[in-house]
């Protein structure tokens, strides 16, 4: 198992997959990592849909313009969030909490030697509508993203985003 810093720096968006299966045990570990994320006032407004059905993955891909890698992915996790269940019933809080769960999921995918990419549903009305229709998501629940998951084919490399000009010590 890689140490935390290795996982953080090795994580990258993976958009090409070998087609090999991802085990249910790994998907379970990934979801547990998502639920370990911090959440304002511990409200946990999130929920997670795990999709492994080939037909459903294809249906999702058809209506999501930048998620065509789902045609080759073995699984997808859709991080959902519900403003009514978030601190102060705030949509912003709901989205922040679910985003943190999403990043934990991406890190867990990397830690397991798998590949994944966050594809956007929120804030695009058409993409949220499509994901909701395919997956039967209730109206009050926001599908934040569709995270494609598979065994990486090996083309995708982490980007070095370190930029010291973005750091302000003590004051801007």
Ligand X SMILES: Cc1cc2nc3c(=O)[nH]c(=O)nc-3n(C[C@H](O)[C@H](O)[C@H](O)COP(=O)(O)O)c2cc1C
Helices (H), the chain: 4-10, 24-35, 54-63, 91-111, 125-135
Binder to ligand X among 13, 16, 52, 90 (CB under 6 A)?
13
Question: Residues in contact with ligand X, total (CB under 6 A)?
Answer: 10
Output 18 or 23, the one with its CB closest to ligand X.
18
Torsion of CA 23, 45, 140, 90, to 10 degrees: -150
Output 66 or 89, the one with its CB closest to ligand X.
66
Binder to ligand X among 81, 104, 119, 132 (CB under 6 A)?
119
Output 15 or 130, the one with its CB closest to ligand X.
15
Rounded to 5°, the CA angle 103-38-8 comes to 35
104 binds ligand X (CB under 6 A): no
Binder to ligand X among 55, 159, 166, 168 (CB under 6 A)?
159
Q: From the CB of 117, what's the least distance to ligand X, in Å?
A: 5
Helix (H), strand (E) at residue 163: none
41, 44, 85, 159 from 77: Cα distances, Å = 24, 17, 20, 23
Place of tokens 């009305």: 125
Output 81 or 119, the one with its CB closest to ligand X.
119
Task: Compute the distance between CA of residue 70 and CA of residue 10 in angstroms, rounded to an integer.
Answer: 22
Instruction: Map the footprint of ligand X across residues 61-90, applying CB under 6 A.
Output: 66-67
The residues binding ligand X (CB under 6 A) are: 12-13, 15, 66-67, 117-120, 159
């Amino acid at each position: 198992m890689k140490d935390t810093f290795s996982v953080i720096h090795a994580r990258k968006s993976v958009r090409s997959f070998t087609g090999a299966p991802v085990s249910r045990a790994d998907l379970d570990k990934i979801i547990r990592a998502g639920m370990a994320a911090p959440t304002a006032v511990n409200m946990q407004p999130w929920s997670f849909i795990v999709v492994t059905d080939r037909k459903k993955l294809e249906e999702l891909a058809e209506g999501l313009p930048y998620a065509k890698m789902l045609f080759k992915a073995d699984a997808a996790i859709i991080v959902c969030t519900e403003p009514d269940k978030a601190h102060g019933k705030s949509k912003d809080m709901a989205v922040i909490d679910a985003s943190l769960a999403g990043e934990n999921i991406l890190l867990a995918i990397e830690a397991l030697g798998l590949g994944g990419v966050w594809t956007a549903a929120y804030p695009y009305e058409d993409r949220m509508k499509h994901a909701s229709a395919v997956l039967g998501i209730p109206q009050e629940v926001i599908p934040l993203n569709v995270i494609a998951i598979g065994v990486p084919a090996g083309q995708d490399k982490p980007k070095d985003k370190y930029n010291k000009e973005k750091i302000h010590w003590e004051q801007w």
